[in-house]
Amino acid sequence: MKIATYNVNGVNGRLDVLLRWLAEDRPDVVCLQELKTPDDRFPRKAIEQVGYGAIWHGQKSWNGVAILARDAEPLLTRRGLPGDPDDTHSRYIEAAVNGLLIGCLYLPNGNPAPGPKFGYKLRWFERLQHYARELLDLDVPAMLVGDFNVMPTNLDVYAPERWRDDALFRPEVREAYAALVAQGWTDAIRHLHPDERIYTFWKYFRNAFARDAGLRIDHFLLSPTVAEWLVSATVRREVRSWEHTSDHAPVIIELDHV
């Protein structure tokens, strides 16, 4: 079973890229972030035509998350992260697919830091920690997948000294991620590639992709049961080189749980 995460950076503007990648890799489940479209403009028909059912949580111009399932319909279990009824950002959606509970998330960027946006990021992280603990207590096969907007360690950023004060790399954010993992989650890429520099994001400017000046901010956190099924974890770097592509590359894990 192949499960992917992809910050598509505008699902309608980059629909051709998304459909091409789906046709090439044929993942069984896909978590998308940064849809940047309201619910009524999500390209459901185009995605269905290439064999995927979908659920989504959209927002005009910003944010937005979706879960796709090949030859199946994801069963919606939650739309929105609990803990703040006044939070209007579309950043979390969750579904049951093929016996797995999959939470797709787009964690706030938080820049500039310090500031109100950074405070919101830390509060969102705290809510995620509380809810992640609830998921583990359910003792069901679960995963948290998506763009966490955090580089967990120096190994996950091309030039750590340049990012010390950035909201994606500040100590408070890395500590929040570490505390989340310490609950009992497994970081799939780092588990299988403990010492390798692996990036999932490259900025558009200053020739970042060609220089491999990247960041690892797209993560799979697996519950203990799912971690036992983990076979592989890879980044589809080629997709980042396509014309009019996202600044992220798809990340794919493979599970053997049949």
Q: Which residues are catalytic?
A: 106, 147
Residue with the two structure tokens 């890229």: 17
10 Å CB burial of residue 87 (0-12, 13-18, 19+) is middle
**Cα–Cα distances in Å, from 79 out to 102, 103, 134, 142?**
12, 10, 16, 16
Residue with the two structure tokens 């579309």: 90
The reply to whether omega before 27 is within 30° of 0 (cis) is no
Phi, psi of 83 (to 5 degrees): 115, -15
Q: Are 83 and 120 in contact (CB under 8 A)?
A: no
First to last CA, the chain: 9
Count CB-CB contacts under 10 A for residue 97.
Answer: 21
10 Å CB burial of residue 142 (0-12, 13-18, 19+) is buried
Q: Are 255 and 222 in contact (CB under 8 A)?
A: no
Q: Are 221 and 136 in contact (CB under 8 A)?
A: no
Count CB-CB contacts under 10 A for residue 230.
Answer: 18
